[in-house]
Each structure stands twice: as structure tokens, then as C-alpha cells.
Amino acid sequence: MYHPNYIIYTVSLFLTLLGGTNGKTTIPEICILILGTVMSDNKTPTPVPPSDTYKGWVFKWTNYIKGYQRRWFVLSNGLLSYYRTQAEMGHTCRGTINLATASITVDDACNFVISNGGAQTYHLKASCEVERQRWITALELAKAKAARMQAESDDSGDDFPSSSLAVAPGQGGGSHNSEVQSALRTLGSKVEDLSTCNDLISKHGSALQRSLSELDSLRLTGEAGDKIRQVTERATLFRITSNAMINACRDFLTLAQTHSKRWQKALQAEREQRVRLEETLEQLAKQHNHLERAFRGASQANSSADSKSSAGPGKGEASDEDDENEFFDAMEEAPEFITVPADPQFHKRSSSNISGFNSEMCSDDQSLNEEPLAMNQEFPSHELVPLKKRRTRIPDKPNYSLNLWSIMKNCIGKELSKIPMPVNFNEPISMLQRLSEDLEYHDLLDKAAKCQSSLEQMCYVAAFSVSSYSTTVYRTGKPFNPLLGETYELDRQKESGYRSLCEQVSHHPPAAAHHVISDRGWTLRQEITVASKFRGKYLSIMPLGTIHAIFEKSNNHYTWKKVTTTVHNIIVGKLWIDQSGEIDIVNHTTGDRCHLKFAPYSYFSRDVARKVTGVVMDKNGKAHYVLSGTWDEKMEFSRVMQSSRGGENGTEGKQKTVYQTLKAREVWKRNPLPEGAETMYYFTALALTLNEPEEGMAPTDSRRRPDQRLMEDGRWEEANAEKQRLEEKQRSVRREREREAANQQTSSQSEEAVDEDSYTDPSLKNAPHDNYQALWFERCKDEITGEQVHIYKGGYWESKERGSWEGCPDIF
């Protein structure tokens, strides 16, 4: 029962609002204020929560032992969910009820029940009656809204499918359609609010009338009776006014629903017409492109009529150019950006060779469909000589059993290069030969050297940096640690135009210097130090050092580093390898950059395994190409036509960049493994030839290493014995070298003499007593990175031509 003065206050407040809004207070706001006032038994109006969402603590009945327990309830989009704590909202929902089909019952001052027909029933208790009323109001509003949305969805779902209002990504005018849809959604929400207020005003107005009738039946006399009659009169005015407002709301609701359907139909018709126009425009662009290619092909055929029959395909051929002007489906979301098909406005532009895009890409097309490099007149040609027939097989890997745990249990936490490992864990090549395997896809650098665009050149350099990992996917064997002073040459000048030389320049920490010079216009050099840790279940291999690629024609100088390699299931299970981390390739001449990300393998990820993504940007940070693929199969690049900030928020709340790109084009693909590779350590065709003996090798060449040769022949026991002999010989030479360096030091500083027995102390491994100097490389400061590195000083190939190896140490 409401107090008479409170009812007078309520009605007066309503009449004041109704008469004094002056157009500033909307009808739904008045209704909410009325409801919040009438449904409270305090003189202070109770605020009503918004109808869209409401959160708070409510006591929920659990069982007869625990009784009511405090739970966090969330009301949103017609669903009531609860959690044990607020922190659980991100991952664990304890239960949910759809209010569209639920019933809400009030038990007493603080208790209420929500049930969906028997399957789920929540017995809830609020902290006070006011809080209970807030929840009841919010639940009723949400229930009415959910029921109405469900009914409208059932009625109009066939006529207006949700997909009809979807905006195709990358199409012009998408923002306009989004604004229209947003306006429709806002209008629909307001219409639903009016309808809900209509029902609630009618319901609570009747309740108010019944309360006044009960007051009138008390037959009070005097001043109280006059007050009751006055309240009754005002209540009558309230009912009349409310009925008028309800009728106006009903008329507005009907009118809004009618116009809403008309707008939706008109929007759908406009969208269908736009799609037809875009399809027509695309067909016209393709026809124009076909005619243009036919003209270029005819011109090329006429100009090359007198050329040699052995020449490769001309630049005018269009075997791959169709792909240049076709759209492609949106790629799966990458960690940092999203790619979508380019806007049709770029389609026409990319079809014309007088456009800025095509003029910038004409040299790129040449590099993708190039004639054989030996026939290219840009590079010096060599006389054709019969090439040596190289081997295609090595002896099969023996199947020897080994107690792995007995060896590994004492190695946890130690650096891998300091652990005496049997050859059972190795593969019959050294780390120097493994570095030379990076040249498996040297043709990528050949093509890069011919690019006129530095950004296109960056794509090939990035693909080359990824291709070096393709040989590792099945290669779980550990290469032999090179002995100090060990070298390896890979002379493919007559076949592929390059010469490669590696030398082990340091033993602790192990470091190898690598230098490649190519007649095709590029130079590659690197110094790699491998840091490795055994963690019990997996082995982490972290290459340290910078790789340099220099192109003579453009003078572009690129640098990058390698990512981390992880070998899993060291103790139990099948070994498998993963690559993870990020690579930043920098062109120090132009300032261009490429950021590559190697996604680590995750059992729960729905993404492609071994995925690599990247973006090529100029010095101003503008994206020009998007790279995608996997490090074990292939890489593709797509020309970026437009970029914008948008898409879904990332893990840190930042918006991802959306790139509109043309059709992706393949830039690199892995060569298939030779037949029977599974029995030959999964070696590639190049790897099978790396340990093949050749004439004129240096005495320090890895091919002359006896333990490695014995392992390749399948004589593992002899290889283990020989490996121990070589390592002990190397330690003896190192101790002697340190002793000589210490003697020189003590001769000048006798007070700092060191006991001879301490020379073998592991703590002195990194002491500056070792005065070893590499034979073919010299240590200096790199002008680009500022690092102390070993750079090739020349003389090796000249010594090979003379057959003079006097300076080479006896390491085997």
C-alpha cells in the first residue's frame, strides 16, 4: 500500500514533466522516470537501469547446505548470465537464461524467481527491496525487448535476410551503408522502447488506480477526505493523459515499423543495383586487359621474329598476368593486420600500362616471368662447359638404438656446444655445410638483382630469408660442430654463378663466417654464432649475428637476423621442429623495411601451421606489399593498393590495419625432396651433394673430416671414436695456444703470472688468452651495424687455383 502523500508526489511529478518538457524531455525518458518513481516505496525516486545492459551482485540459491551464495549477474541483449566473480566474465559463464521465453515472479520484498519453463530456474534474493525492484524493472524491459525482437525476426526474416544488408569488404560506399544500417538500428531500438513503455504505463497505471480506489474505500473524513478526493481527481487526469500518450505511441510505432520496412527494401534494391554495376565494370576491365595483352603479345612476336630459337619466353607473354588483375578472397586474419580485395577503382588502374601502378610494376612482372638467367645479357656470361654429374644418393641411415635419457639427464641447462654428443644425434654434414644450404634458392637473389624497384627487390630478399628454413622441417639431426679453422667451399660458378666460402672463426662461442659472391650481381655475407639450451623437453637454438645482402647494380644493402629454432619431444615422442620469432629486414640505402612474423605452432590455433606473414614498407612507413605463406612450402606477395585502420581490435586493444591488395602472386615455392629422402636424413637435392668429395679442396674442408665421412658411410662406432680423437686434438691445440699467449703476457707483466694448471679451467674459456686469428677472414667493425664481425679478406680462390695451401692448419 502506497502512502497518500507519496502518490500525490508521484502524480504531481508526472504532470509537471508532462506540462513542462518544452520538447526537451522525450517520451521514453518520462516513462522511465514515472516507473522508477511509482515502483519504489521511498520518497526518493529510484533510478532505473538502462534497458540494454545491467550488472550487479545478487544472492542465488545453490543448495540446502550452502543456501544463498553471492553471484555476479549480467543482463545483456535479452540474456541473463551469472558468474562466481567479476573476473570470470572473460572465460567462465556459470549459466544463462533467455528472457524472451522466461517468466519473472516476485516472492516477497527481496526475493524473486526467474524460470524458463522448468529446465532452468533461478531463485534470487536482492540486498534490499529497492535493489530487487531495479532488477525486476530491468528484467521486464529486457524480456519485452527480447520477445519483440524474436517476433519481428520470425515475421520478417524471409523478406529481409541479414545478409542482404551486409556490405562487401573493400567496396566503395561501405561507410554510407553502415550509417544507414546504424540509423535503422537506432530507430528500431527507440521504437521498441516506446512499445515497452506503452505496456508498462498501462500496467502500472491500472495498479495506481486500484490503490486509489482502496484509499477511497477507507471513508476518511475531514482534511484527509479532501486530500483523497483531490488525489482521485488528479489520478483521473493522469489516466486520461496516459491514454492519450499511449495512443500517440501506438500510432508512432505503427508508422515507424511501416517506414522501416520500406527503407530496408529500398536499401536492398540499391545494393543489388550497385553489385550489378561493379560486376559489369569488372568485366569491362578484364576485356580491356585482354585486348591490351593481345596487342603487346603481337608487338613482341614481331620484334622477336629474328631472335634465336633458344631464347626464353619474352616479356610480352601473359602466362601470369591474368592473376595481376583479378581479385582474391580475403585472407585469414593475421596477428597484426587484415588483407581484403582491392577496391574496383584500382582494377581499372592496374589494367592500363600508362598508369602509375603498372609503370611501377612493369619491372616486377619481368622478374616473375624471366627468361633463363644464363641468357640474360645484364650479367656476364660464361662458356658452356659439361657440368659435373653430382650424386643423388648417399648410404641409408642405419637404425641404431640409443638410450637417450642416460645421455640427456646430465645435460639440462648446459650449452649444447659444450656437451660431448655421440654421432647418433648428428647428420653427416657440418654446420658450415648447413649454412651453405641457405643457397638452395639462390635464384631469388638472382631475380632480386634484376629488379628496378627496391620495394619489389625487398620481396625477393624476404622470400630468400624465409626459404632457408624450408630444409629444416624434417631435419631433426644435429650438424657436426666445426673444428676451429675448418672451412667449406661451395663452388657453383659454372652452374649457378656463385662461389661460397665458410670458415669456423671461433670455437667458444662457436662462430662461423660465410661469404658468397655471385656473377649475377649480388653478395651475401654473414657471421652466425649459435646459442643453444637444452630445457629437458625441448631444445632451443638461437642464431646470433646479422646477414648482409648487397646488390651491385642498385647498391642496395639489406640486413636481417634469423629466428629461433625449437626441437620438441627430445625425451619422449617423435622429434619435430618449429620456427618462431620475428625478422626485420632493412634496406640501409633507401630506408625500406620488411617485418616478417613466424607464428609459433599452437595445438589450439585454427590458423595454418608454420605460418609466416609480413609487410614491406618504405622509409615513411607506407605499406606497399603484403607477404604471406609458410616457411616450409611457399611464399606469396600482394600489392597493397590502399590501407586503413580498422578491423577487429587486437589483443592489446589496438585496431588492426586493413590492407586492400591485388591478387597474391607466388614468389617462392619449396622444391620437392628427392626420392627416398626419408632414409637419407631428409636431405634435399643440394644437401646430398654437399659432402661429395671434389678435387682441389683445402686441407681444412669439411669434406675431409674423417668422423663425418665415417658416419655418412654408416660406420657410427668408428665415427664416435674418431670424433673424440678430433675433439681431444682440438683441446690440446687450444691449451698450447693459450699457454703461448699467457707466456707472452707474463714476460711483460710477471706479477700477473697464471698457474699453468689453470689453463684448462673452464672459467678461462672466454679469457683473452686465445690469440687465434682466422685464415681467410679478418675481424673488423661492421660499418652498417657497428658489430665486430669477420669479413672475407680474399685469397682463398686464388690459393685454390694455384693449389697452394701452405697456411692451412692441420686440424684433422
Query: What's the pLDDT tens digit per position in 500-510?
Result: 999 999 888 88
8 Å CB contact between 445 and 499: no
CB atoms within 10 A of CB 427: 24
8 Å CB contact between 719 and 710: yes
Tell me the angle at which helices 174-216 and 222-303 cross, rounded to the nearest 10 degrees: 170
DSSP labels, 261-311? HHHHHHHHHHHHHHHHHHHHHHHHHHHHHHHHHHHHHHHHHHHTTTS-TT-
Lowest pLDDT segment from 261-275, 281-295, 321-335, 385-399? 321-335
DSSP assignment, residue 130?
H
pLDDT category of residue 33 using cuts at 50, 70 and 90: very low
Instruction: Give mean pLDDT, residues 789-809.
Output: 92
Distance between alpha carbon 78 and the CA centroid of its chain, in Å? Answer: 34
pLDDT attached to residue 388: 77
Give the C-alpha distances (Å, rounded to integers) separating 618 from 225, 338, 592, 624. Answer: 87, 19, 4, 7
Lowest pLDDT segment from 243-257, 375-389, 405-419? 375-389
What does the alpha-carbon distance between residue 627 and residue 638 come to, in Å, rounded to a whole number? 7
Residues 378-395, buried b or exposed e (16+ Cβ, 10 A)? ebeeeeeeeeeeeeeebe
pLDDT 10s digits, 135-167: 888 888 888 888 877 776 655 444 444 333 344
Give the C-alpha distances (Å, rounded to integers) separating 29 from 78, 253, 342, 398, 631. Answer: 21, 16, 46, 84, 60
pLDDT category of residue 66 using cuts at 50, 70 and 90: confident
pLDDT 10s digits, 443-455: 999 999 999 999 9
Reduced to 3 states (helix: H, G, I; strand: E, B; else coil), residue 156 is helix
pLDDT attached to residue 683: 93
Reduced to 3 states (helix: H, G, I; strand: E, B; else coil), residue 721 is helix
What does the alpha-carbon distance between residue 81 and residue 486 come to, in Å, rounded to a whole number? 69
Give me the residue label for grid cell 654434414. 429
Which H helix or E strand runs over 731?
A: helix 716-748
413 or 733: whose pLDDT is higher? 733
What does the alpha-carbon distance between residue 721 and residue 723 come to, in Å, rounded to a whole number? 5
Cell numbers that stand for 220 in this block: 476518511
Percent of the chain with pLDDT over 90: 31
Q: Is the pLDDT of residue 125 over 50?
A: yes
pLDDT 10s digits, 697-755: 999 999 999 999 999 999 988 998 899 899 889 888 888 888 888 887 776 665 444 44
Averaged confidence pLDDT in the chain: 75
Q: Is the pLDDT of residue 84 over 70?
A: yes
Which residues pair with residue 426 across a beta bridge?
A: 478
Percent of the chain with pLDDT over 70: 70
Contacts of 72 (CB under 8 A, 6+ apart): 55, 56, 57, 82, 83, 84, 85, 86, 88, 89
pLDDT attached to residue 58: 93
Distance between alpha carbon 242 and the CA centroid of its chain, in Å? Answer: 58
Which residues pair with residue 113 across a beta bridge?
A: 105, 123
**CA nearest neighbour of 625 among 454, 446, 441:** 454
8 Å CB contact between 130 and 109: no
Tell me the angle at which helices 4-20 and 222-303 cross, rounded to the nearest 10 degrees: 50
